[in-house]
Amino acid sequence: MSTPQLVVHRDKELMARAAAARLITKIVDAQAARGSASVVLTGGRNGNGLLAALAAAPARDAVDWNRLDLWWGDERFLPEGDPERNVTQAREALLDSVPLDPARVHPMPASDGPHGGDPDAAAAAYAAELAAAAEPEHYRSAAAAAGGDVPAFDVLMLGVGPDTHVASLFPELPAVRETERTVVGVHGAPKPPPTRVTLTLPAIRSAREVWLLAAGEDKAGAARIALSGAGEIQAPAAGAYGRSRTLWLLDAAAASQLPRDLYPPALA
Ligand SMILES: O=C(O)[C@H](O)[C@@H](O)[C@H](O)[C@H](O)COP(=O)(O)O
C-alpha cells in the first residue's frame, strides 16, 4: 500500500491542465521504457475535464497514441452511444481527436451489447478481457491471487464522489466489499444511472499508480474523510491506492477541509 501523496492546485481548471501534463509525461515515460502504456480512465466532470485539457495540451502528441491501451474504471450500463456513457464523453473530450489503435481501446460493454441487459454478464466479460490482456510477467494483482488477472496499469484514474465513492464503488454497497472478482455489476447506485459496471478495489489496487481527482467545495468533506483513516467500506476512496504510488490531485476548494497535518508542505 502506497501512502497517499497530495498535490493541491489553485482551481479545477489548473488542476485539469496540470494533471493532463502529468499524464502525458507518465505515458511518454512508460512508452520509452516498455514500448507501450496502459491507462484506466474515469468518468465524471473531473475525469472528462482532464481529457479535454489533454486534448488541448501543447505536448499532447508526445504520446505515441498508437501504443496506448485504454481501459475504464467504470461505466454507466446504457445503450451504445448514449451521451451519459463514460466512453461517449471520453470520445468527445479526447479520444476522437487522437490516432489511437481501436484494438487497444477497451470500453466496458453497453446494455444493448451481446450480454443483453445483464450488467453482471457484462462485468464477467470485461473481467475476461482484462485477464486476456494480462501478461504472465505483468504484476499479478491482489485479485489475480484469487484468479482475476488484470494488466499492469501504469496509471488508473478515479474521480471522487462527494460521498467518497470512486468508480462505481459506493459506500456500504456490495461492489465495494468484493474481494475476489476484478469487475462486477452494480444495481441501485445512488448516483444515476443506477445500473453500472465497475472495477473492484482489488483490481484498482493492482495498478502501479492510482490518481484520485477531486475538485470543488463539494469534494472537501470526501477528501477529509477518505484521507483521515476512514475504512474502505464506508469510504471507498480510502481503499483506492496503487502498488507504487497513490496521488490525490485536488484544487484548493477540495483541500479546504483537510487536517493541517495532511496539507502539502507548500500549503501548510
Ligand atoms: O461514472 C461515473 O459517474 C464516474 O466514474 C464517477 O466515479 C465519477 O468519477 C465521480 O462521481 C466524480 O464525478 P465528478 O468528477 O463529476 O464529481
pLDDT per residue of the chain (268 residues) written in tens, 0 to 9: 888 999 999 999 999 999 999 999 999 999 999 999 999 999 999 999 999 999 999 999 999 999 999 999 999 999 999 999 999 999 999 999 999 999 999 999 999 999 989 999 999 999 999 999 997 754 454 444 444 589 999 999 999 999 999 999 999 999 999 999 999 999 999 999 999 999 999 999 999 999 999 999 999 999 999 999 999 999 999 999 999 999 999 999 999 999 888 877 776 6
Q: Within a domain: residue 194? A: yes
116 near 122, Cβ under 8 Å?
no
Q: Within a domain: residue 100? A: yes
Q: How far is the CA of 181 from the centre of ligand 1 (A)?
A: 22
Task: Choose one of 12, 13, 41, 45 to mutate for the ligand 1 pocket test, by most ligand atoms within 8 angstroms of C-beta.
Answer: 45
pTM of the model: 0.95
CATH at 32: 3.40.50.1360
Tell the residue nearest (CA) to atom 13 of ligand 1: 44
Tell the residue nearest (CA) to atom 1 of ligand 1: 43
Domains contained in the chain, number: 1
Q: Within a domain: residue 123? A: yes
Q: Within a domain: residue 268? A: no
What is the extent of the structural domain holding 35?
Answer: 4-262
Q: Within a domain: residue 33? A: yes
All 3 cell numbers of residue 171? Answer: 459506500
Q: Is the dihedral of CA 108, 110, 116, 118 positive or negative?
A: positive
The answer to ipTM > 0.95 is: yes
Is the CB of residue 88 below 6 angstroms from any atom belonging to ligand 1?
A: no
Q: Within a domain: residue 84? A: yes
